[in-house]
Amino acid sequence: MTNNRAVVYKGAGRVEVQDTPYPELVLRDGPGVPKSNVDRKCEHGVILKVITTNICGSDQHMVRGRTTAPEGLVLGHEITGEVIEVGRDVEFIKKGDVVSVPFNIACGRCVMCQTQKTHICTNVNPERPGAAYGYVDMGGWVGGQSEYVMVPYADFQLLVFPDRDLALEKIMDLTMLTDIFPTGFHGAYTAGVKMGSTVYIAGAGPVGLAAAHSSQLLGASAVIVGDLNAERLQQAKSFGCETVNLKEHDRLGEQIEQILGVPEVDAAVDAVGFEASGHGESGEQPAAVLNAIMDVTQAGGGLGIPGLYVTDDPGGVDEDAKTGSLKVRFGLGWAKAHTFATGQTPAMQYNRNLMKSILSGKAQIAKAVNAQLITLDEAPKGYEDFDKGAAKKFVIDPHGMVNS
């Protein structure tokens, strides 16, 4: 039996690369797997040899100990790979296909999937709608920061790249299709960004940078990115964004007015989530970003919220925050008739067209997020650097296929 090595969560602040079981076309018992999902047969699935798998900010929330993720969980929901085994019930996916895996696990059969709401599939997670690989409370499906991984419902889910050689040539861009690029695009699109829009992006991490680049692709006339991290703001500047250093300026509207001439934008995106900090030196304030974007978005504007919010946060700043109950000025959003778009991104709504934008050279997402290739053994250091605020998107290459 072929060996399999993977990045495993070992408790708050710790990940390790360990030997793990080679994947089967069945979901075995393991960390985070609900009893009702144990031994679930997946003859509709495939085994992938992982080409690239990325470290995500959502992974970092778990690694910091800010969720109820169990120790022993294999991490990783951003997966691109080569099909090396197909299940009995797979009809259209073939061995040798190079594919992108949407981070949402979806059956393709339920009402949600049939209406393109693959982020809240009702069949893949007995505990709640929606599932993902290697993530807390998401059905227990094994993560893909590994050498090999099983992907269920392959015919429905997998995005096959039409040209293997071109795909490998552009793999550093295409690896972003599994989550970060659709998520950033979803944030901008659901906020209503369009030709001529002015948009404020809260957060210059990889999702915020992807939302900023997506806003440019959607035709925004001005994209303003705010963050506390000067290095990440410099990365946003590198592809044409305006920036606001929120560590130095606690009056966001005034900074926007200096850029646009007015203190408001047409649309805003929250790419931070529940570990938000207040502006200036005020420390963690879970609702800070939500309240700020309501304040600076014009009446009738849209708020895209791809940033993660959770129902259980053991490290929350107070008892309310520990259950996801935040002090949001909802009355302000109501008074301004804002539109809110929340939840996981339905990646399949966007990934095919974003793939075309990459293959044509229109989208330069790897450059925008400053993608950096690392080995599987370097993943723990990647997590450490990312936690310190590195202005990079770490892409793991388990087999050395990208370097070759």
Q: What is the mean pLDDT of each run of 10 residues along the chain (404 residues)?
A: 89 96 97 96 98 95 92 97 98 98 98 97 96 96 98 98 95 98 98 98 97 98 97 98 94 97 98 84 85 97 94 86 90 97 96 98 97 97 95 97 77
Coil, helix or strand for 367? helix
Instruction: Specify whether the CB–CB gap between 76 and 41 falls below 8 A.
Output: no
pLDDT at 281: 64
Output the pTM of the full model.
Answer: 0.95
Nearest to 172, CA basis, from 404, 395, 403, 357: 395
Q: How close are the terminal C-alpha atoms of the chain, in Å?
A: 25
pLDDT at 2: 73
Inter-axis angle of helices 206-217 and 230-237, nearest 10: 20
Domains parsed from the chain with CATH numbers: 4-179+346-396 (3.90.180.10), 181-341 (3.40.50.720)
Cβ atoms within 10 A of the Cβ of 245, count?
15
Structure tokens at 103: 């981070």
